[in-house]
C-alpha cells in the first residue's frame, strides 16, 4: 500500500483528531501523538541516529552542520529549538508536546501523567535494586512503600549531593539508575533514616550500626540480621 503525501497527511490528521496514534492509527495516542509501541520504536531509531551523528561531530538534529563546541547541536538548530520552546511558553503550550498546559505547569496533563508514571517506575527499580520494599534496619519491620526511601549507607549524603549537583529526592533515583545502582546505598524507612541521621543509630537496635546492611539480607530467627557493626550503647540524655 502506498499513499501520496497529501493522502498520508490527511490520514495522519484523521488519526490525531480521533485521539489515535498518528503513526499506526490503531492504538490510542499516549505519548505525544503516538501510541506506546510506536513511540518506543521512534525513540530507538532517533537514539541510534543521534549517536551516529554525535560520533562524527555533526549536529544531532540536522545532521548537516558541525555541532557547536561542547554542544550536541549546531548554532542554527540550537536557536531554532530555543525559539520554538519560547513560542510554546508564550502560547501556553506544553514544552514537550505542544498541547495546552495544565494551569500552573509548563506541561500538559498527558505529559505530567507520563512523567509521574516514569518517576514512579524509576523509584521502584531503585528500591528493588537495593533489596526491595523492606527497611534495612535489623530491628525494623517496615514494608510500607510510601515510608521507604534510599539512604546513603555511610551517611555521606551531603557530600554526594554536592558532588552530583543536588541529587536529592527523585533526583537520587535517576542518578542511581544512570550509575547502575552502585554500592553504598540501602533502603530505610523514614523513622530509621531520621534516627540514623540525627543520632547516628536507630533505637530499634541501639547496639548496632544501621550501616553496611548487605543488599539481600538473610535474617536470623529473631528477625535481626546476623551481624552488623557493634557500637557502644549511648548514654541517655535526660
List residues binding Zn ion (CB under 5 A): 21, 23-24, 35, 38, 59, 61-62, 65, 74, 77, 94, 96-97, 99, 108, 111, 135, 137, 140, 142, 189, 192, 202, 204
126 exposure class (CB count in 10 Å sphere: 0-12, 13-18, 19+)? buried
Report the DSSP beta bridge partners of residue 58: 66
The least CB distance from residue 212 to Zn ion, in Å, is: 14
Smaller CB separation from Zn ion, 80 or 161: 80
Smaller CB separation from Zn ion, 117 or 162: 117
C-alpha 57/C-alpha 95 separation (Å) is 27
Smaller CB separation from Zn ion, 72 or 164: 72
Smaller CB separation from Zn ion, 164 or 190: 190
The least CB distance from residue 201 to Zn ion, in Å, is: 9
C-alpha 90/C-alpha 115 separation (Å) is 22
Residue 128: what are its φ and ψ, rounded to 5°? Answer: -65, -35
The least CB distance from residue 11 to Zn ion, in Å, is: 13
Which of 123, 122, 124, 98 minimizes the C-alpha distance to 110?
98
Smaller CB separation from Zn ion, 123 or 149: 149
Cell triple for 72: 550536541
The least CB distance from residue 121 to Zn ion, in Å, is: 18
State how far the alpha carbon of 173 is from the alpha carbons of 1, 138, 206, in Å: 46, 23, 29
The least CB distance from residue 180 to Zn ion, in Å, is: 26
Amino acid at each position: 500500500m502506498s499513499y501520496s503525501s497529501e493522502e498520508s497527511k490527511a490520514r495522519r490528521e484523521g488519526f490525531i483528531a480521533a485521539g489515535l496514534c498518528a503513526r499506526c492509527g490503531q492504538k490510542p495516542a499516549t505519548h505525544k501523538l503516538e501510541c506506546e509501541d510506536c513511540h518506543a520504536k521512534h525513540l530507538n531509531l532517533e537514539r541510534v541516529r543521534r549517536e551516529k551523528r554525535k560520533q562524527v561531530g555533526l549536529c544531532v538534529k540536522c545532521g548537516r552542520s558541525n555541532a557547536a563546541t561542547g554542544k550536541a547541536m549546531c548554532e542554527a538548530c540550537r536557536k531554532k529549538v530555543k525559539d520554538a520552546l519560547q513560542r510554546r511558553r508564550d502560547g501556553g503550550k506544553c514544552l514537550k508536546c505542544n498541547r495546552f498546559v495544565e494551569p500552573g505547569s509548563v506541561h500538559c496533563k498527558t505529559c505530567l501523567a507520563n512523567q509521574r508514571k516514569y518517576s514512579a517506575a524509576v523509584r521502584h527499580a531503585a528500591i528493588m535494586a537495593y533489596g526491595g520494599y523492606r527497611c534495612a534496619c535489623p530491628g525494623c519491620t517496615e514494608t510500607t512503600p510510601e515510608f521507604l526511601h534510599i539512604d546513603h549507607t555511610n551517611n555521606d549524603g551531603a557530600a554526594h549531593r554536592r558532588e552530583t549537583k543536588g541529587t536529592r529526592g527523585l533526583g537520587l533515583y535517576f542518578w542511581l539508575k544512570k550509575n547502575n545502582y552502585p554500592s553504598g546505598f540501602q533502603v530505610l524507612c523514614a523513622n530509621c533514616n531520621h534516627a540514623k541521621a540525627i543520632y547516628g543509630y536507630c533505637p530499634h537496635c541501639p547496639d548496632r550500626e544501621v550501616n553496611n546492611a548487605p543488599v539481600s539480607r538473610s535474617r536470623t530467627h529473631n528477625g535481626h540480621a546476623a551481624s552488623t557493626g557493634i557500637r557502644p550503647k549511648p548514654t541517655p540524655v535526660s
